[in-house]
Chain A
Amino acid sequence: MGLHNTEYKGLLGWIDARMPTMMAEYKRHVSEYYAPKNFNFWYIFGSLALVVLVLQIVTGIFLTMHYKPDAAMAFASVEYIMREVPGGWFIRYLHSTGASFFFIVVYLHMFRGLLYGSYRKPRELIWIFGCLIFLCLMAEAFFGYLLPWGQMSYWGAQVIVNLFAAIPLIGPDLALWIRGDYVIGDATLNRFFAFHVIAIPLLLLGLAVAHILALHDVGSNNPDGVEIKDRLDPATGKPLDGIPFHPYYTVHDIFGLSLFMIAFFAILFFAPELFGYFIEWNNFIPADPLQTPTHIAPVWYFTPYYSILRATTTEFMLVLAVATVLYGVLLFFALRSGIGKAVVAVTTLVLLAGYFVLDPKFWGVVLMGASTLIFFGLPWLDQAPVKSMRYRPGWHFVLLMAFAVVFIVLGYFGTQPPSPVNQYTSMVGTLLYFAFFLLMPWWSRMGGFGPVPDRVSFAAH
């Protein structure tokens, strides 16, 4: 009475009779989730990101057992973990190397999306959840970087919190509210610890679940950009080009994971600071509020955006004003609706006025924010009639690679001390970065598009 009619025997049958959800969800998401059979190398990064998330949570739990979130003790407690806690150095390096690898994996995962149009209809929500995960990940990394209380921790946090002080009117009070003190101090460290170990991880887990649920509702994209759900096997109702996630892709991903681990542990054991890129040298000096290190830069994964921030000076504002006018004119003539034209005209004029009224510092912060938020717009900026680069003109691929190069160049210059060469390269890079996205509605329509096949292209190995 009241028991679910189960197909399983023994203990599993006993559980299934009382909680059929468990096996039903296992089937829905694992053993009977049909993924396209033509996944390639690019498709391992999603599951790798999940593995790294678990790694960060597990190592993080162990680190909190020894770490002290107190300005007077934090630096020493990290050194205590490194030198005296049995296996402590290994746990700490797993966590710090894991942080950088999280970004490597996520950037490659996002690049895959750009390569095969994974954000296009009907996968816009998956992409939005993914972008939110990316933002949370940046927040998580930023809060975490303060915790060792080294010079880079301290001055990096000082710079980023002061970004909020650039907001007109409320800025300075907002920065004070975030810090809880007149400078970065014990209050700041304590609250960043709370954000890093509980608030953001909870958000991150929730978003990861939403990302995967949204994916499993519409199904995975693939390198051909073909919707496998359009061709079902009449006998079974399953996609003809789909194979169950387990065992096919669990095995595929375990193979990818083993390659990943080779790279991961090579760095962990032989160059855990990766020549100052994964953990900056200055962070081995305790935080000193009275002395800024001679060169400060964020960790590598933030440097492209940091370059954009630095590029925005008085000189650049003129370039920005010209670019804004040109783009406003382009949009004005491209839009057909009168309301659209009016909105564009007013926005352009308001921006132009703002460029001259407010400090370049404020606009630097705005551009840096925009450079991370613009990813949200991709599903609507990309107007190509096909999803995958495979069936788009060759020069679309060239543009995508050019964007990747600009991203890396901006990232490189973000790690370097300020200089005129750095300054001008970053300015050009900033313009190209935004041009790639903002001109996409035009360029993505141009050129000849190859016929997209009905079925995925796949050769059995």
Chain B
Amino acid sequence: MSSSIANPPVDDGRRLAIAATCVAGGAGVIAAMVPLVDSFNPSERAKAAGAPVEADLSGLTPGDKMTVEWRGKPVWILRRTPQMIASVKSTADRVADPASARNAYPTPPYAKNELRSIKPEYFIAVGICSHLGCSPVGPLAGGSNAQLGADPGFLCPCHGSTFDLAGRVFKNKPAPDNLEVPPHKYLSDAVVLIGDDANA
């Protein structure tokens, strides 16, 4: 009985073949993971449900807010009274980002003004707090809420972030950014399209 049967020398060629097979097989396993991971992304149906929506503003009286659903999110349309517009001018030094310079939720260029709107009267924003996605309540009148103090505005019930009537977050609140202004354009004086601002 020769020792080479009990203890044959290592066949380097076979070792290499085993390693190469493992690498190729491993690559196959990783490739097989791709569709599994990809299956988590929004389906075509979910993407289609994200199409732009039209809103008719003709029934909205000054001081009132209406909510339309776009991509499953509440989009607010607030028709501001002259007093409400004036309140936005007084909060500039107490909000964290008065000029909408931050980029977490980029403000479209046509709304990058003090009132954060195309038309001063109509404020359009996604009613979801930039903190953790709760929907703030409001508009609350000035002096009606301890967290807002004397200012009118919106209050997020989850973590107490407050926003003025242009959706600008007050300083030292959990929310890192102003309320998002969605892409939108006016199709006529009384009809606005939310979710699309091409050729606006």
Rank and list the top 10 A-B pairs by shortest CB-CB distance, nearest first. A418-B160, A359-B176, A183-B72, A292-B135, A162-B133, A182-B71, A159-B132, A290-B74, A292-B134, A162-B132
Surface stretch bound by B, among A137-145, A172-180, A197-205 = A172-180
Task: Chain B residues near A187: list those with CB within 8 A.
Answer: 42-43, 46
Footprint of A on B, CB under 8 Å? 40-43, 46, 49-50, 67, 69, 71-74, 104, 127, 131-137, 146-147, 156-160, 171-176
Docked-complex contact B40 and A158, CB < 8 angstroms: no
B-binding residues in A (CB < 8 A): 155, 158-159, 161-163, 165, 176-183, 185, 187, 191, 289-296, 310, 312-315, 359-361, 364, 417-419, 423
Most interface-central of B147, B156, B157 (chain A CB within 10 A): B157
A180/B172 contact (C-beta < 8 A), A185-B72, A292-B135, A294-B157 known: no
Looking across the interface, which residue of chain B has its beta carbon closest to that of A312?
A: B174
Residues on A with C-beta less than 8 A from B147 are 418
Residues of the A chain whose Cβ atoms lie less than 8 Å from the Cβ of B175 = 361
Kindly state the separation between the CA atoms of A153 and B41 in the bound complex, as whole angstroms. Answer: 22
Docked-complex contact B46 and A159, CB < 8 angstroms: no
Task: Show 6 A/B contacts (Cβ-Cβ < 8 Å), sorted by A.
Answer: A176-B42, A183-B72, A185-B72, A187-B42, A417-B160, A419-B160
Least CB distance from B144 to A in Å reads: 14
Least distance between B35 CB and chain A CB atoms (Å): 14
Closest approach, in angstroms, between the C-beta of A229 and any C-beta of chain B?
A: 40
Among A155, A291, A310, A361, point to the contact of B176 (Cβ < 8 A).
Answer: A361
Across the interface, which residues of B come within 8 angstroms of A177, CB to CB? 40-41
A155 and B131 alpha carbons, distance in the complex (Å): 13
In the complex, which of the residues B131, B137, B172 contacts A361, with contact meaning CB atoms closer than 8 Å?
B131
Residues on A with C-beta less than 8 A from B40 are 177-178, 180, 191
Q: How far is the CB of B69 from chain A (nearest CB, A)?
A: 6
B49 to chain A: which residues have CB within 8 Å?
A: 181
A360 and B73 contact, CB distance less than 8 A: no
- Which of B157, B174, B176 is A293 in contact with, Cβ under 8 Å? B157
- In the bound complex, residues from chain A placing their C-beta under 8 Å from that of B171 are 314
Once the chains are docked, how many angstroms separate the CA of A165 from the CA of B176? 12
Q: How far is the CB of B124 from chain A (nearest CB, A)?
A: 15
Cα–Cα distance between A292 and B137 once the two chains are bound (Å): 8
Given that A159-B133, A178-B40, A418-B159 are contacting pairs, would A183 and B71 also be in contact in the complex, using a CB cutoff of 8 Å? Answer: yes
Bound-complex Cα distance A295 to B42 (A): 30
Asked if A182 and B73 sit within 8 Å, CB to CB, the answer is: yes
Enumerate chain A residues within 8 angstroms of B67, measured Cβ to Cβ.
290
Question: Could you tell me if A185 and B46 are in contact, using CB atoms closer than 8 angstroms?
Answer: yes
State whether B46 touches A180 (Cβ < 8 A).
yes
CA A352 to CA B80, docked complex, whole Å = 42
* Distance of A292 Cα from B76 Cα, bound (Å): 14
Contact, CB under 8 Å: A360 / B42: no
What residue of chain A has the Cβ atom nearest to residue B134's Cβ? A292
Partner of A294, one of B137, B160, B176: B137
Asked whether, in the complex, the Cβ of A313 is within 8 Å of the Cβ of B174, the reply is yes
Summed over the interface, the residue pairs from A and B with CB atoms below 8 Å come to a total of 99
- How many Å from the CB of B13 to the closest CB on chain A? 38
A180 touches B43 (CB 8 A): yes
> Which residue from B41, B132, B133, B174 sits with its C-beta under 8 Å from A360?
B174
In the complex, A159 Cα to B67 Cα: how many Å?
Answer: 21
Q: Are A289 and B157 in contact (CB under 8 A)?
A: no
* Beta-carbon nearest neighbor of A317 in chain B: B172
B133 and A361 form a contact (CB under 8 A): no
Task: Please state if B132 and A158 are interface contacts (CB–CB under 8 Å).
Answer: yes
Asked whether B134 lies within 8 Å of A158 as measured between CB atoms, the reply is: yes
How many angstroms from the CA of A360 to the CA of B159 in the assembled complex? 13
B40 to chain A, nearest CB (A): 5
Contact of A181 among B72, B133, B137 (CB under 8 A): B72
A182-B50, A191-B40, A292-B135 known; A313-B173 Cβ under 8 A? yes
A142: shortest Cβ distance to chain B, in Å?
14
Residues on A with C-beta less than 8 A from B146 are 419
B158 surroundings in chain A (CB, below 8 A):
155, 159, 292, 296, 418
Task: State whether B72 touches A292 (Cβ < 8 A).
Answer: no
Are B134 and A290 in contact, CB atoms less than 8 angstroms apart?
no
| Smallest CB separation, A396 vs chain B (Å) | 36
Query: When chains A and B are docked, how far (Å) is the Cα of A91 from the Cα of B157?
Result: 33
Chain A: CB-nearest residue to B173: A313
For the complex, give the distance between the alpha carbons of A313 and B171 in Å.
10
> How distant is the Cα of A9 from the Cα of B31 in the complex, in angstroms?
54
CA distance A165 to B133 in the complex (A): 10
A97 to B159: give the CA distance in the assembly, Å: 27
Separation of A183 and B75 alpha carbons in the complex (Å): 13
Chain B residues near A179: list those with CB within 8 A: 42
| A303 to B69 CA separation, bound complex (whole angstroms) | 31
Chain A residue with Cβ nearest B70 = A182
**A181-B49, A182-B71, A418-B147 provided; 18 other pairs, C-beta below 8 A?**
A158-B134, A162-B131, A162-B132, A165-B133, A180-B40, A181-B72, A182-B46, A182-B50, A183-B73, A187-B43, A290-B69, A292-B135, A292-B156, A296-B157, A314-B173, A359-B176, A360-B174, A417-B160
A310 and B135 contacting across the interface, CB-CB below 8 Å: no
Asked if A291 and B172 make an inter-chain contact with CB atoms under 8 angstroms apart, the answer reads: no
Q: What is the bound-complex CA distance between A94 and B73, given in angstroms?
A: 35
Contacting residues, chain A, for B71 (C-beta < 8 A): 182-183
- Measured between beta carbons, the chain A residues less than 8 angstroms from B172 are 313-315
User: Chain B residues near A183 (CB, 8 Å)?
Assistant: 71-73
Asked if A155 and B46 make an inter-chain contact with CB atoms under 8 angstroms apart, the answer reads no
CB distance from A336 to the nearest CB of B (A): 40
Whole-angstrom CA separation of A155 from B135 in the bound complex: 9
Closest to A168 in B: B104
A295 touches B157 (CB 8 A): yes
Asked whether A296 lies within 8 Å of B135 as measured between CB atoms, the reply is no
Residues on the A chain within 8 Å of B159, using CB: 310, 418
